[in-house]
């Protein structure tokens, strides 16, 4: 029921995410075993509106906020967060579907002939397409700039949706943060779990992110989903597998 993956992410105003597409550590396996026996407080939280499902230690709080993109677009976002003792977990979802009309509007307000605002067929009005293409790097850099040592930064995938994985150790208190950042269906997902020094890694949270369709059914792609191709509709969406928990994601939008 839980996949081997790790996640986290940061927001200009908030934080979130970890993911790992590799076998869990001994600590992670132990934590997963406890949950499978029903001994944990973790529950699966599906969310149709934002197209995901993830394990949380109890019902998460939901905060409406705004995400500022690399090119300065202000996009609607939500932060789902929960605590478990001294552990903190959050998932930030920023909706990049709104960037298209904002880019068109920015182009209309530009000084005539200003390419940086008007853009091109490749970049889109106001360079919104380039903003979308670079979102994983931009979001990852918000973590790299923290007062923390980056101990892990690699490409990965969660249920075949590509993303970036980061592990950080805070310089002040030695707490550890595990992050997974993904872009799916023109939405940015930042999964972030932070535990105090000496605590086991947040395995349940790290490995549980999945994707759901508009009916709440879990789906999974049969090949790697990359938003820069499918979300921008440069290629037809990849085929999907059958049902089951944590299967892929919804059809990409412009």
Closest to 52 (Cα-Cα) out of 214, 201, 164, 174: 214
Q: How far apart are CA 237 and CA 218, in angstroms?
A: 17
* CATH number of the domain enclosing 60: 3.40.1000.10
Please report where in the chains the tokens 């820069």 appear, as a residue: 228
Domain contains 248: no
Tokens of 151: 């101990």
Give pLDDT, residue 172.
Answer: 97
E-strand spans in the chain?
A: 7-10, 15-18, 43-47, 52-56, 61-68, 74-84, 87-95, 148-158, 161-170, 176-184, 187-195, 210-212, 218-219
Is position 164 within any domain? yes
Average pLDDT, 10 consecutive residues per value, the chain (254 residues): 40 36 40 40 93 95 97 96 96 95 83 66 80 96 97 94 95 96 96 96 84 89 89 73 42 32
Whole-angstrom Cα distance, residue 11 to residue 79? Answer: 9
In-domain check, residue 2: no
| Residue 241 domain flag | no
Q: In the block, which residue shows the tokens 């790290």?
A: 206
- Count CB-CB contacts under 10 A for residue 170: 16
pTM: 0.77
Domain residues for 173?
Answer: 7-230
Q: How far apart are the first and last CA of the chain?
A: 32
Looking at the structure of the chain, the number of domains it has is 1
Residue 199 lies in a domain: yes
Determine contact, residues 138/69, Cβ cutoff 8 Å.
Answer: yes
Asked, for residue 253, whether it belongs to a domain, the answer is: no
- Unique residue bearing structure tokens 């759901």: 212
Domain-located, residue 165: yes
Cα(125)–Cα(172) distance, rounded to whole angstroms? 43
**Residues in CB range of 101: below 8 A, 6 or more apart:** none
Region of 119 please: left (phi>0), alpha (psi -120 to 50) or beta. left
Rg of the Cα atoms in the chain: 18
Give the integer Cα–Cα distance in Å for 217 and 243: 7
**φ, ψ for residue 195 (rounded to 5)?**
-130, 150
Q: What is the DSSP string of 132-191?
A: HHTHHHHHHHHHHTSSEEEEEEEEEEETTEEEEEEEEEETTT--EEEEEEEEETTEEEEE
Residue 243 lies in a domain: no
Which residue(s) pair with 46 in the sheet? 53
């Amino acid at each position: 029921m839980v996949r081997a993956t790790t996640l986290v992410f940061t927001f200009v105003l908030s934080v979130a995410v970890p993911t790992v597409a590799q076998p869990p550590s001994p600590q992670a396996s132990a934590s997963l075993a406890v949950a499978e026996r029903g001994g944990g407080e973790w529950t699966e939280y599906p969310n149709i509106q934002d197209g995901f499902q993830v394990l949380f230690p109890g019902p998460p709080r939901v905060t409406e906020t705004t995400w500022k993109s690399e090119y300065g677009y202000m996009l609607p976002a939500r932060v789902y967060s929960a605590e478990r003792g001294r552990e903190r977990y959050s998932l930030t979802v920023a909706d990049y579907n709104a960037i298209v009309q904002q880019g068109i509007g920015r182009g209309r307000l530009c000084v005539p002939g200003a390419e940086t605002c008007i853009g091109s067929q490749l970049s889109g009005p106001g360079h919104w397409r380039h903003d979308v293409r670079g979102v994983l790097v931009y979001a990852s850099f918000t973590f790299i700039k923290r007062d923390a040592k980056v101990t892990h930064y690699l490409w990965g995938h969660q249920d075949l949706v590509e993303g970036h994985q980061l592990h950080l150790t805070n310089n002040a208190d030695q707490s550890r943060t595990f992050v997974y950042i993904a872009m799916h269906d023109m939405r940015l997902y930042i999964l972030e779990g932070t535990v105090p020094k000496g605590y086991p890694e947040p395995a349940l949270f790290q490995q549980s992110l999945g994707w759901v369709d508009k009916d709440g059914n879990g789906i999974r792609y049969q090949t790697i989903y990359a938003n820069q191709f499918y979300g921008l509709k440069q290629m037809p969406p990849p085929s999907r597998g059958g049902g089951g928990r944590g299967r892929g994601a919804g059809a990409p939008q412009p």
